[in-house]
A and B are shown apart, each in its own frame.
Chain A
Amino acid sequence: MSVPLDPARPLTAAGGNLRRRRRVDQMMRAIATAAAVVAVAILVIVIVTVASNGASQLSIGFLTKDPTAELGAAGGGIASAIVGSAMIVAVATAMALPIGVLIAIYLTEFSKPRTARPIRLALDLLNGMPSIVIAVFVYGLLVEGHQQTGFAASFALAIIMVPLLARTTQEMLRLVPQELRDASHALGINRWRTIVGIVLPSALGGILTGTVLAVARAAGETAPVLLLSSIFGVGTTINVFGTALPNIPYTIFSDSESSFPADHARAWGAALVLIAFILVGNLTARAMLARQRRIMSR
């Protein structure tokens, strides 16, 4: 244990009097408080502007109609983008969830420290990799020389989701009491039945919350869909493997760069739909996670 305080060095500068020290103390505490206020203010300002600009767009028609084919025209909705985003994220989750959970099972139930280290490192590196780099990789792998597909975007999103899912699942599996596993073994039940029948069901709530968080993250990822699923028609389609699918992040991106006010309006509406989905997902996940931790650490 190192001692961070050097006894030879006084905590205060020589000659500092109490009143000045108190004033500095108060000032620094005020600055720290102000910093926290600034962060919360930014969050509130962004959410309120999205909500107030998007609310005027929001209607049944906006959610159920496809966009108009004409450039910059008012009217139309984002139905095709909602369906497309749902498809892309669903396929991504279907790929990433089993892999993420299996990695977590390997790391918590099977691995020795020496084999776990490279896999942890790979997950950390994957987690720190920018989504644009992953998107360029998938572009070179699946799109270059072929054509954009919704699946290509799903593939990129799956790469982004795996480390998130593996990490939350791992955290949840670690919370399952060792006694449960020991009891199961003592009853003569072998490893895989213990894991599939006892450990996973106990952690199911936590895995679900982790999935919700990963889905919320993937739904807003723009770089992958920009490179892999951005050249599409106006109609609703669910053909993930055949064509590029319209989607919400790209809709916001292209409409935000447009110079037509009608496009800006649609961008705000789509942004409100996306941010509402993400915030609801995050808040429920947080509440569930807190509950799960309480139950399991009892």
Chain B
Amino acid sequence: MSAMPAATGLPTRRRLGDRLGDRLLLGLAILASLTAVVVIALIIYKLIDGASASISTFGLGFLWHSTWNPASSAGVADANVFGAGTLIFGTVVTSAISLLIAVPLGVAIGVYLSLLAPGRVGAVIGPLVELLAAIPSVILGLWGIIILAPVMRSTIEPALHGAFGFIPIFGTPSATGLGVFTAGVVLAIMVLPIIASISRDLFLSVPRELKDGALALGATRWEMIRGVVLDSTRPGLAAATILGLSRALGEAIAVTQLMGAGSVLSKNLFTTGDSLASRLAEQVTNPQSSQQLAALFYCAVILLAMELVVNLAAQLIVRHFERNQGVLR
């Protein structure tokens, strides 16, 4: 008789633990998942909140005005007038330079790794290219300042100026090697591994029958690559480019180190400039007035909006073609 309560008692306690444990784990998992959503909402709210004073003062004109005058003393003309025109220009131009370099190079690397490299060579080079993405931007910036900038100043910029000097963007070479062009080149190094690894995966996903079919029809390898592989993965390559753009737009540190913190709009790529992200890196910790901090938050809002648009676009492209084709990941 005495064994009965124990025999039923144990499973009940166990069952209670089971039920509580299930609820607890599910609750915690839902809570953690909601945290991710809440953090996004909180970031958007907090940045807009911090920028509200600046948004109401300068409105949308902030986007194209290029005064940035954090004067704290009263009586100075244009004191505490801010605009992000030069910064948006700098962000767009450096990102464009990086994509112009990294997209063709990255796609070519993708072609090599997925279609041309002998198995063992590809197995070594693929991870090495991905390792490039692991190098922190501050180290690439340090390398850019001390190693790349002098080479830019003494060799590359004069050569480009000499050959293409009639185009205004290749103007007088800089005195230090620091500037928009150098920043764009180092950004390209950061974007390159992203484009390369995505395009490799894309090209690997092209059905073998299509590639073999083209070769069987007498196409050369390159004709097969151009006609079958590149053609069928075009939307994926667009998404890869957009993801690379997302990386380039938001990079603050290396750009701060290499762009030379200029404040003038110039056609010449060899002059100094500044971008949204790098202005934030330079000035958020020591604003001279609350208006300046609000203007910096406004810059962060612009950057956030650009990134959200770019990332959602990449998502849409990938989703759309996942549904239609199944070729993309």
Chain A residues engaging chain B, CB cutoff 8 angstroms: 1-2, 4-5, 11-12, 21-22, 24-25, 28-29, 31-36, 38-40, 42-43, 46-47, 49-50, 53, 98-100, 102-103, 105-107, 109-111, 118-119, 121-126, 128-137, 139-141, 144, 148, 159, 162-163, 166, 190-193, 195-196, 216-217, 219-223, 226-227, 230-231, 249, 252-253, 256-257, 264, 267-268, 271, 274-275, 278-279, 282, 286
Residue of A with least CB distance to B143 = A46
Cross-chain contact B139 with A271 (CB below 8 angstroms):
yes
B residues near A42, Cβ cutoff 8 Å: 132, 189, 192
Q: Distance (Å) between the CB of A293 and the closest chain B CB?
A: 14
B residues near A39, Cβ cutoff 8 Å: 105, 109, 125, 128-129, 132, 192-193, 196
Q: Distance (Å) between the CB of B151 and the closest chain A CB?
A: 11
Q: Which of B28, B46, B112, B143 meets A35, CB within 8 Å?
A: B112
Tell me how many residues of B have a C-beta within 8 Å of chain A: 100
A residues near B214, Cβ cutoff 8 Å: 5, 11
Q: Which of B32, B46, B106, B128 meets A140, CB within 8 Å?
A: B46
Cross-chain contact B311 with A102 (CB below 8 angstroms):
no
A residues near B50, Cβ cutoff 8 Å: 136, 140, 144
> A24-B220, A128-B246 given as contacts; is B146 within 8 A of A256 (CB)?
yes
> A125-B308, A132-B277, A252-B142 given as contacts; is B285 within 8 A of A5 (CB)?
no
A159 to B43, CA, bound (A): 11
Chain B residues engaging chain A, CB cutoff 8 angstroms: 18, 21-22, 24-26, 28-33, 35-37, 39-40, 42-43, 46-47, 49-50, 104-106, 108-109, 111-113, 116-117, 125, 127-129, 131-132, 134-143, 145-147, 189, 192-193, 196, 210, 213-214, 217-223, 225, 227-228, 231-232, 243, 246, 249-253, 257, 277, 280-281, 284-285, 293, 296-297, 300, 303-304, 307-308, 310-312, 314-315, 324-326
Residue in B112, B145, B314 with the greatest tally of chain A CB atoms within 10 Å? B112
> A4-B210, A28-B222, A32-B112 given as contacts; is B138 within 8 A of A222 (CB)?
yes
A249 to B136, CA, bound (A): 9
B residues near A11, Cβ cutoff 8 Å: 214, 217-219, 223, 227
Cross-chain contact A29 with B222 (CB below 8 angstroms):
yes
Cross-chain contact B281 with A252 (CB below 8 angstroms):
no
Residue of A with least CB distance to B23 = A192
Cross-chain contact B311 with A253 (CB below 8 angstroms):
no
B residues near A118, Cβ cutoff 8 Å: 37
Q: Distance (Å) between the CB of B106 and the closest chain A CB?
A: 8
Cross-chain contact A36 with B109 (CB below 8 angstroms):
yes
A152 to B303, CA, bound (A): 21
Cross-chain contact B40 with A122 (CB below 8 angstroms):
yes
Cross-chain contact B36 with A119 (CB below 8 angstroms):
yes
Q: Distance (Å) between the CB of B282 and the closest chain A CB?
A: 9
Cross-chain contact B284 with A227 (CB below 8 angstroms):
yes
A residues near B192, Cβ cutoff 8 Å: 39, 42
Residue in A130, A163, A217 with the greatest tally of chain B CB atoms within 10 Å? A130
Q: Distance (Å) between the CB of B19 and the closest chain A CB?
A: 8
Residue of B with least CB distance to A139 = B284
Q: Distance (Å) between the CB of A26 and the closest chain B CB?
A: 8
Across the A-B interface, give the 8 residue pairs with the lowest CB-CB distance, nearest first.
A130-B250, A220-B136, A102-B32, A35-B108, A106-B29, A4-B232, A132-B252, A25-B220
A257 to B278, CA, bound (A): 14
A residues near B140, Cβ cutoff 8 Å: 46
A40 to B111, CA, bound (A): 15
Cross-chain contact B35 with A43 (CB below 8 angstroms):
no
A105 to B32, CA, bound (A): 10
A268 to B196, CA, bound (A): 28
Cross-chain contact A125 with B210 (CB below 8 angstroms):
no
Q: Which of A40, A110, A128, A275 meets B135, CB within 8 Å?
A: A275
Given contacts A122-B40, A144-B50, list 4 more A-B pairs with CB under 8 A. A128-B243, A130-B249, A130-B277, A193-B18
Q: Distance (Å) between the CB of A101 and the closest chain B CB?
A: 8
> A118-B37, A129-B250 given as contacts; is B29 within 8 A of A110 (CB)?
yes
Cross-chain contact B222 with A125 (CB below 8 angstroms):
no
B residues near A47, Cβ cutoff 8 Å: 135
Cross-chain contact B134 with A216 (CB below 8 angstroms):
yes
A residues near B280, Cβ cutoff 8 Å: 132, 135-136, 227
B residues near A195, Cβ cutoff 8 Å: 25
> A39-B193, A118-B37 given as contacts; is B281 within 8 A of A50 (CB)?
no
